[in-house]
Amino acid sequence: MEKIILPLIIVLNLFAFSLMGLDKYLAIKQKRRISERSLLSVAFLGGSLGIYFGMVAFRHKTRKMLFNLGVPLMMLVHFYLFWYLNT
């Protein structure tokens, strides 16, 4: 099971990180943005680490309370689930 889940988690988190970078770029260019709901949905589905590192690397969504509280909580849940499924 780990052989399937780990690569999926890695790809999902790279995708989530890329979404944060793209949204920051779109914000700077004043173009149509990626919705917060979409970003949080990707985080909820397992991309919380990518979203978090995107927040830090791109300094994006750092003033939003939902991101500052929700993403770290999702990370804790995901780490616990990953640990639980692999023990």
DSSP class of residue 45 equals I
What's the domain count of the chain?
A: 1
In the block, which residue shows the tokens 């399937």? 4
CA distance 50 to 39: 10
Give the predicted TM-score (pTM) of the model. 0.92
- Which amino acid is located at 47 in the chain? G
Task: Give residue-wise pLDDT tens across range 61-76.
Answer: 999 999 999 999 999 9
Candidates 38, 43, 32, 31; CA nearest to 71 is: 43
Low-confidence residues of the chain, pLDDT below 70? 1-2
Kindly list the distances between the CA atom of residue 22 and the CA atoms of 1, 18, 31, in Å, as whole numbers in the listed order: 32, 6, 11
Q: Which domain holds residue 16?
A: 2-85
Q: What is the pLDDT of residue 37?
A: 97
